[in-house]
Amino acid sequence: MISFFKSIKNKSYIFSRFISVSIKPLMLFVSLALGYKEFGTVIAMVFLVSSVNMMLCSVPIFREFFINFDNKSTLKKKYFKNKYKSQIVTLFLISIILIIPINQFFENSIEIFICSLLIFSVDKIYDEIQRVLILKKDFNAWSTITNFKNIILIIFLLNPIININIMYLGVTYFLINFFKYYAYINLSFNLKIKKEIKRFSFSIWKNKKIYIMNYFLLFYTIGDKVVIGKNFKEDLTEYIFLSYILSVPLLFILFFYISKYRAEFVNNLISFKDVIFSKKFNYLLISTFFLASVIVLFYYNLSFSKFSLASIILLLLIHFIKAYSLILDEIVYWKSYYKDFLFFEFLFFISFTIVILLTSYLDLTLDIFLPMLLILFFVKFIFKMIIFINKS
Predicted confidence at residue 18, as pLDDT, reads 80
Q: How far apart are CA 281 and CA 286, in angstroms?
A: 9
Domain holding 367, by residue range, is 207-392
227, HSE (Cβ side, Cα atoms, 13 Å) = 25
Helix (H, G, I), strand (E, B) or coil at 271: coil
Same domain for 200 and 212, yes or no, is no
Same domain for 187 and 219, yes or no, is no
Q: How many CB atoms lie within 10 A of CB 151?
A: 11
Same domain for 377 and 314, yes or no, is yes
Q: Do residues 92 and 124 make contact, with C-beta atoms less than 8 angstroms apart?
A: yes
Same domain for 221 and 293, yes or no, is yes
Side chain identity at residue 372, one-letter code? M
Side chain identity at residue 205, one-letter code? W
Dmax over CA atoms of the chain, in Å, equals 63
Element (H, E) at 382: helix 366-391
Q: Do residues 64 and 84 make contact, with C-beta atoms less than 8 angstroms apart?
A: yes
Per-residue pLDDT of the chain (392 residues; tens, 9 = 90+): 555 455 545 567 677 878 888 899 999 999 999 989 899 999 999 999 998 888 877 766 665 666 666 666 666 666 566 666 667 777 777 788 888 999 998 989 999 999 999 998 888 888 878 877 777 777 788 888 888 999 999 999 999 988 899 999 999 999 999 888 887 776 555 556 666 667 667 767 777 777 777 777 777 788 889 889 988 999 999 999 999 999 989 988 887 788 777 777 777 788 888 888 888 889 989 999 999 999 999 999 988 888 999 999 999 999 999 999 989 888 887 777 777 788 888 888 888 888 888 888 888 888 899 999 999 999 999 998 988 888 87
Predicted confidence at residue 330, as pLDDT, reads 84
Exposed (0-12), middle (13-18) or buried (19+): which is 30, by Cβ within 10 Å? middle
44, HSE (Cβ side, Cα atoms, 13 Å) = 31
Q: How far apart are CA 184 and CA 134, in angstroms?
A: 13
Exposed (0-12), middle (13-18) or buried (19+): which is 58, by Cβ within 10 Å? middle
Instruction: Look up the pTM and report it.
Output: 0.81
Same domain for 184 and 267, yes or no, is no
Q: How far apart are CA 235 and CA 101, in angstroms?
A: 22
Return left, alpha or beta for 268; rule: phi > 0 is left, psi -120 to 50 is alpha, else beta: left
Same domain for 313 and 248, yes or no, is yes
Same domain for 198 and 50, yes or no, is yes
Answer with the one of 178, 205, 232 that is the final residue of a domain.
205
Q: How far apart are CA 295 and CA 78, in angstroms?
A: 49
Q: Do residues 42 and 112 make contact, with C-beta atoms less than 8 angstroms apart?
A: yes
Q: Do residues 59 and 200 make contact, with C-beta atoms less than 8 angstroms apart?
A: no
CA-to-CA dists, residue 231 to 36, 240, 359, angstroms: 21, 14, 8
Instruction: List, in sequence order, every beta strand (DSSP E) within 293-391.
Output: none
Predicted confidence at residue 348, as pLDDT, reads 86
Same domain for 80 and 135, yes or no, is yes
Same domain for 268 and 183, yes or no, is no
Q: How many residues does the chain have?
A: 392
Helix (H, G, I), strand (E, B) or coil at 68: coil
Domain count, the chain: 2
Same domain for 152 and 280, yes or no, is no
Answer with the one of 152, 184, 205 that is the final residue of a domain.
205
Nearest to 156 by CA among 243, 31, 49: 31
Predicted confidence at residue 363, as pLDDT, reads 84
Side chain identity at residue 79, one-letter code? Y
Same domain for 38 and 171, yes or no, is yes
Q: Which residues contact 19 (CB under 8 A, 6 or more apart)?
A: 146, 147, 150, 151
Same domain for 212 and 101, yes or no, is no
Answer with the one of 183, 205, 227 that is the final residue of a domain.
205
